[in-house]
A and B are shown apart, each in its own frame.
Chain A
Amino acid sequence: RIQPVRAAPDKISEKVVESIKQAQETCADDPTSGECVAAWDEVEELSAAASHAKQKEKDSDPLETYCKDNPETRECKTFDE
């Protein structure tokens, strides 16, 4: 079974750049067309996804991430007594 993998955040960043370029091109001819509006909507969707991914990365604590995988190590052991 293939494990699903989350898309890397920098890849989303690249997509944002690409989508902005595309939106600017699409809107050059007709700034009120459905295609133009849909293109900018895509920019918004990708920007939101990029910011969520970035936030998730920022929130993660290196020690906590390590301890999730290695709870038995000395730096991770906690006792409830």
Chain B
Amino acid sequence: MAACTVYSTQSLSTNCSISTPSKTQLSFHQKQVVFYTTSRRNSKRGSNSGRSYVITCAASDQQTVVIGLAADSGCGKSTFMRRLTSVFGGAAEPPKGGNPDSNTLISDTTTVICLDDYHSLDRTGRKEKGVTALDPRANDFDLMYEQVKAIKDGIAVQKPIYNHVTGLLDPPELIKPPKILVIEGLHPMFDSRVRDLLDFSIYLDISNEVKFAWKIQRDMAERGHSLESIKASIEARKPDFEAYIDPQKQYADAVIEVLPTQLIPDDNEGKILRVRLIQKEGVNFFSPVYLFDEGSTISWIPCGRKLTCSYPGIKFSYGPDTYYGNEVSVVEMDGQFDRLDELIYVESHLSNLSTKFYGEVTQQMLKHADFPGSNNGTGLFQTIVGLKIRDLYEQIVATRAETAVAAKA
């Protein structure tokens, strides 16, 4: 029998639907509860046919929605993950009682797995062969495909753990199928079989200048590191990055591009950012965010009486574009907020945000005001993408329930 939970909360309640059926005898009871399922298996309760409660539930099988997030290491994947899981409510934590160096994060709705766990070569192995972790030869895409597919089909798997501290492959951990599975790492869209399993994909595209500035911020305090060592590390990984990681962005449904600002001429500090949210058109269950008027090309400086901005100010742009031969909509924000609560003014001019109430974007941003990027476009667009994924999830689940009903009728 399918395991069923009926949620009374307003969010994510769509995996069970309740309605009165049209084709049953209504002799005894008018009240009938029907839960729809994708598993086509009804479990009938009640003894006589007149008052049969057909309980078919959104079982765990074939319910998992899979999201892919691609980015280089040290490019804010973990911050994005924390914003995303926060949209779904509840904190994401490592599996309890397991390997303390596990890379997995689990919350009520979401499980995030790190694709480094599918390294086929450990740190010594890569050194012997002279390949980086970016190289496809260091990764086991067959296992990645099999396990992601199994989870999507509702089957728990024993996933290996790549230990980032020791550089070894640790004994596996059990991953149960969640409502939403996020696979994050270097290669979520590299293998075409894995790519086809994704219901939505995101690529975090950090320009070289910004990447350099971020890594200096991250590593300069670290012993042993110098400007030269940071530069050398970036340069050494660049050929593999360009060959294997960067091309994945053409497959992404949403790309968050982080560039140096254009508001200050010749700025290369990497503190003020120009962030672009590139959204693919025509993706199922995903309607791009727009500014003022859908499809127009608009440039907007919100600073003035209603929004406090200090130098260099804020500039938004929006418009249609093409990206790797695909039709896209691009929303861009250059500059940073001085007062986060005034973000509501910007939010009120953006449409298609998939919020559940007015001000949800601002509320989410305020909730995590201490995260990196909260005062610029990275935080804003990551939050928006989080809301879009929630919307996508709810639509997919609703559609599956409908098709299951149609199949039974």
A residues near B (Cβ < 8 Å) are 4-7, 11-13, 15-18, 20-21, 23-24, 27, 33-52
Contact = CB atoms under 8 A, between A and B. Distances in A.
B240 interface: yes
B218 A51 contact: yes
Interface in B213-258: 215, 218-219, 222-225, 229, 232-233, 235-237, 239-240
Contacts of B100: 4-6
A34 B123 contact: no
Nearest to B236: A40
Given A37-B130, A40-B233, A52-B78, A16 B223 contact: yes
Interface of A, helix, strand, loop or mixed by DSSP: helix
B132 A48 contact: no
Size bin of chain B's contact surface: 35 or more
B383 to A, nearest CB: 19
Contacts, number: 104
Contact of A48 (B130, B134, B164, B223): B164
Given A13-B223, A39-B236, A52-B164, 19 more contacts: A7-B101, A12-B165, A15-B165, A16-B223, A34-B131, A36-B236, A37-B132, A38-B127, A40-B235, A41-B236, A43-B229, A44-B237, A45-B123, A47-B219, A47-B225, A47-B233, A48-B74, A51-B74, A51-B219
A64 to B, nearest CB: 12
Nearest to A51: B218
A45 B133 CA distance: 9
A47 B229 CA distance: 11
Given A17-B224, A44-B237, A35 B74 contact: no
